[in-house]
Amino acid sequence: MYSLEIRKVLVGDLPKLAHIHLETWKSCYKGIIVQETLDNLQFQNSLRNMERTYNDSEVFFYLASIHDISVGFIIFSLKSRHENYEEYAEIPAIYILPEYHNAGIGKNLIKTAFQVYRELNVTKVMLCALKHNRDKDFYQKCGAVVTKEEEIMIGGNPYLIEIWVWENLSI
């Protein structure tokens, strides 16, 4: 049995998040996103993006660790960045290292976000996931439903995303 700890991210944890982000993308999106795009992912770019939003008072970062090993994280915000979803909060990132998938870590990270959202009287949450993401059934198991598909560009190539929403924050 493992001992899962979920806590707020400290600024010194951001490199761990950047590492998890890159490792997860390279594994989970292999065969979905053009390999050249995955090969060109840069640690410094990931870290810089996280540093840019870390001090935003409307964005929350939580880290999941097992026996002091950082295995996943969630970033969630009080505001959606997407048109027609202005009344929703957003989970722009939830990543778990592939070797820790299906261990309940993602569900516990979602529960943590929902607890904070409920404390702040947030009732609607959305997130975007690549349509061909192999792990997207996880969102359905957590109670989300797909409301829309959109095309986005990643590395100069078009991909379909699905917009998932929760209007009941209990799982």
> Concatenated DSSP letters for 67-122?
TTEEEEEEEEESS--STT-TTSEEEEEEEE-GGGTTSSHHHHHHHHHHHHHHHTT-
pLDDT tens digit sequence for 3-16: 899 999 999 999 99
Greatest CA separation found in the chain? 43
User: Hey, is 169 helix, strand or coil?
Assistant: coil
pLDDT band for position 1 (cuts 50, 70, 90): low
Say if residue 168's pLDDT is above 90.
no
pLDDT tens digit sequence for 72-116: 999 999 999 988 899 999 999 999 999 999 899 999 999 999 999
Say if residue 135's pLDDT is above 90.
no
